[in-house]
Chains A and B, each alone.
Chain A
Amino acid sequence: DAGVTQSPTHLIKTRGQQVTLRCSPKSGHDTVSWYQQALGQGPQFIFQYYEEEERQRGNFPDRFSGHQFPNYSSELNVNALLLGDSALYLCASSSGDYYEQYFGPGTRLTVT
């Protein structure tokens, strides 16, 4: 049983560009949460998707958007990239409560 998977592993983009990150949840999980983790910091909650809708949102600008597909996989889109968007982006899946939340390996985004 594959756990949470994310793609790509690493990504380098230029300021102003747009990026799409992908996440496949653990089998049996229907809820996907996205986090941004800057170097030396804890993960910061971006948003959570459940039943193909954004259920919760953290303190991130509208440049950050997402989507969840019928198979529960999810995408995170970031428009108009800034240098400060450079971080590790983590996807976590769960079924209901956070107790069963599992993290993916993350996508390392570098904006130059």
Chain B
Amino acid sequence: GQNIDQPTEMTATEGAIVQINCTYQTSGFNGLFWYQQHAGEAPTFLSYNVLDGLEEKGRFSSFLSRSKGYSYLLLKELQMKDSASYLCAVKVPWGGATNKLIFGTGTLLAVQP
């Protein structure tokens, strides 16, 4: 089976740091994505990890441990506009040379003044 777990909701303060965790149990693994989705809008790409370790991109960083089936998204210097849902998605093999994405339910982050 395929299972991706994220906390449902989180709250943080403007200017602070927040870590959003994602654990997965999937049949195969070819990479992990983080997307940001504001209410009523399309998901937008934040990061992609395929090897273990930390990927840093401005205020956003993402970490992957394949042996533990674990990833986190780190958001620094939080801003009000970071209030959104954060989706963890795992790319799994799907026959031949193709892949498909399996999404978690998303973590709704509320940034407070």
User: Do A and B actually bind?
Assistant: yes
Contact A103-B44, Cβ < 8 Å, known A43-B87, A56-B95: yes
- A58/B87 in contact, CB under 8 A: no
- B45/A101 in contact, CB under 8 A: yes
Q: Is the interface of A mostly helix, strand, loop or mixed?
A: mixed
A97 contacts partner chain B, Cβ-Cβ < 8 Å = yes
B98 contacts partner chain A, Cβ-Cβ < 8 Å = yes
Residue in B33, B91, B100 whose CB lies within 8 Å of A58:
B100
Q: Is the interface of B mostly helix, strand, loop or mixed?
A: strand
What is the total number of residues of chain B having a CB less than 8 Å from a CB of chain A?
A: 25
- A103/B105 in contact, CB under 8 A: no
Provide the residues of chain B in CB contact with A58, threshold 8 Å. Answer: 100
Interface size range of chain A in the complex? 20 to 34
- 8 A Cβ contacts from A62-111 to B: 90, 97-99, 101-106, 108
Complex-state Cα separation, A103 to B48, whole angstroms: 15
- A105/B41 in contact, CB under 8 A: yes
- A99/B104 in contact, CB under 8 A: no
Provide the residues of chain B in CB contact with A102, threshold 8 Å. Answer: 45
- B31/A99 in contact, CB under 8 A: yes
A48 contacts partner chain B, Cβ-Cβ < 8 Å = yes
Complex-state Cα separation, A58 to B43, whole angstroms: 19
Chain B interfacial positions (CB closer than 8 Å to A)? 4, 31, 33, 35, 40-45, 48, 87, 89, 91, 94-95, 98-106
User: Can you list 11 A-B pairs with a CB-CB distance of less than 8 A?
Assistant: A33-B100, A33-B101, A42-B103, A45-B100, A56-B98, A56-B100, A58-B100, A97-B99, A101-B45, A101-B101, A105-B42
